[in-house]
Amino acid sequence: MKHRIVVLGAGYAGAITAGRLAKRLHRDDVEIILINADAEFVERVRMHQLASGQDLPARPLREVFAGTGVQVRIARVTAVDVDRKTVDLTGENIAYDTLVYALGSTIADYGVPGVAEHAYNVAGKQAALRLRARLNELRAGETALIVGGGLTSIEVAAEIAEARPDLAVAIAARGGVGDWLDEKAQRYLRGAFERLGITVHEHADVTRVTANGVITGAGRDIPAQMTVWTAGFTVHPIAAATNLAVSDSGRIVVDATLRSVSHPDVYAVGDAAHAEGVGGKPLRMGCATATPMAWQGADVIAARLTGGKVPDAPIGYASQCISLGRRDGIVQKVTPDDQPTSTVITGRMGARIKELICAAAAWSVVHPTMMLPSRRRHLMATGAAEHQFVTR
């Protein structure tokens, strides 16, 4: 029987991995199954655009992968048994020979009361649409408050402020907003906030979300008619419920080849993986990490199954891109270990570069077997000891 590769999750990491494997491996030898809860590919890096009222193109996964050899299953993963090598879906159980875990992340509320009841978020398509509906209900002069000081927080605040200049838009962060950026980028960001009329509350540790705003650790009340929680992300708890080795945050601990350190037939890519990048620093969550991890993960699996050279070079970064609405942006050049440099591109050029990167990432998903060598290799009858050709 064919060697079955099951990929869990069809975000950037999972979808790109599945398509690259289909391009690398011969269809006579492998069966690639991509499992996702949503029937469409969701451009998660554009959820702030969807929330602000912009429409995004529909990309049904079955159409994306038609003719590639990748089987798409629309189902929700409920459990993984890494000892029996099975995945539990809603109403179904499926076995695997090689598992690629790419279930991504969702919002982290850090135990703050009221987040689930009163706050909106942009962690997924349905969440963004709920925020969009609420945004449409707000009247002129009312306040939209974004909690968080990271990339997502900045983009959501800017997008809403540009789309709804009649609203009072504010951002509240535990520390500084964008304070990891180079000084030039920070100055530009402050100027952009001023131009957009965004009020910034820094060093505001939000300890409770209410129907009428938030309360900080100092007891300060920041009123708002709508609160958007963008204070961080966390992984789904499925991996932590298995016998896989996971980090304190529940991410699957992998080696330099993105293989689980505890179960050699399991690989993790994207937000769900705890992997070390250049300099030994854990890779951060985000599309900038997911895509190169998908490339490497697929190439590693293909190499091990076909007897090729296994890539194990650490993944590094080149830039951080921030959109400030549709016509403004910041591109912060960084070192491979993600430290900011003095090279910063701003304004319309920054916006164009950010758009080009987002469009390229989506293009690589919706053209899953393009731009790669066309030769599909056969599997070895007997592979390396840690990853032999397995039949059921």
Nearest to 236 by CA among 255, 222, 217, 251: 251
Sheet with 168-172, edge to edge strand ranges: 119-120, 226-229, 143-147, 168-172, 198-201
Amino acid 233: pLDDT: 92
Run of H or E including 183: helix 183-196
Report residue 161 as tokens.
Answer: 């402020």
Question: Rounded to whole angstroms, what are the CA distances from 156 to 57, 120, 251, 323, 349?
Answer: 20, 11, 26, 9, 20
Mean pLDDT of 348-360: 96
pLDDT interval class at 37 (50, 70, 90): very high
- Examine the pLDDT at 110 and tell me if it is beyond 80: yes
C-alpha 310/C-alpha 386 separation (Å) is: 13
**DSSP three-state, residue 93:** strand
Report residue 204 as tokens.
Answer: 């505001």
Over residues 133-188, the pLDDT tens digits come to 999 999 999 999 999 999 999 999 999 999 999 999 999 999 999 999 999 999 99
Report residue 149 as tokens.
Answer: 């000081």
Dihedral of CA 112/193/271/40: which sign?
A: positive
Over residues 309-329, the pLDDT tens digits come to 999 999 999 999 999 999 999
Residue showing tokens 């402050």: 190
**DSSP three-state, residue 31:** strand
DSSP 40: B
For residue 112, what are the contacts with CB-CB under 8 A and spacing of at least 6?
206, 207, 208, 209, 231
Q: Where are the alpha helices (DSSP H) in 35-150?
A: 47-51, 61-64, 115-118, 125-137
pLDDT interval class at 114 (50, 70, 90): very high
Dihedral of CA 266/270/274/275: which sign?
A: positive
Mean pLDDT of 9-14: 97
- Examine the pLDDT at 107 and tell me if it is beyond 60: yes
pTM for the whole structure: 0.93
- Examine the pLDDT at 388 and tell me if it is beyond 80: no
- Give the pairing of strands 77-81 and 86-89: antiparallel
Amino acid 392: pLDDT: 34
Nearest to 352 by CA among 333, 327, 317, 334: 327
Mean pLDDT of 253-279: 97
Run of H or E including 322: strand 319-323
